[in-house]
Structure formats: structure tokens, C-alpha cells
Structure 1
Amino acid sequence: MKQEFENSPENYLQNIADDLSSISGTCNEIKETQLNCATTDDLNNLSTSVTSAVTEKVDE
């Protein structure tokens, strides 16, 4: 009777592959979040644009 151990080389490698897959997925989520985040400069530029547009409309 062949007994499989949880720490067999196949299981060990599969665990590593599963962990790497999970880490890869987490890295992709972080990248997407970073790409979708507005920076402080973006917000400052938006603020300036809105202020200018409102000032222009008020002056009219």
C-alpha cells in the first residue's frame, strides 16, 4: 500500500505554484488600483479647471 504524504515533492511544488498564483493575482489587483487612483496632481489640476470654469461662467 502506497501512502502519500502531505509533504511529498508533488504537493510541495503544487503549494508553491498555488502561492505564486495568489501572489500574482494580488500584484495585478495592486497594479489596477494604482492605475485607477487619482494622484494629488490630478486632483489639483481638476480643482484648477473647475475653478476656472466657474469663474468664467460667473464673469459672463
Structure 2
Amino acid sequence: MFDVNDAATILLRDLTRETEKRKAAMDACLRVLRGETHPPAARRAFVAAALEAKILRGD
């Protein structure tokens, strides 16, 4: 299991292509870290970006 910090690290390290989904995921992670939103929002955005980058397999 990983947290928002791990997700942000993956977005920065492994998802290097600048896309709208990556940007949305980074923004969502930052909002969680600032206490402005809840983790499920960042999770949804991260999953969308990871699927787009083909580093996460959809079921």
C-alpha cells in the first residue's frame, strides 16, 4: 500500500510525459498534502494518469 507522497514520487519519476491527466494527478496530490481535499480524489486522478501512461493495468 502506498500514500499520496508515494503517488507524487511516481508521477514525478516515472510519468515524465506532460499530459492533462498527469497534471491533474499532481494537482490532486498537492491538494491532499495541503489538506484541501481527501485522498480518494488523488487516487482517482493518479489511477487515470497511470493507466494513460500504461504503468498500471486496468481490470
Q: Is the TM-score greater than 0.5?
A: no
Larger radius of gyration between Structure 1 and Structure 2: 1
For normalisation by structure 2, the TM-score amounts to 0.30
Higher helix share: 1
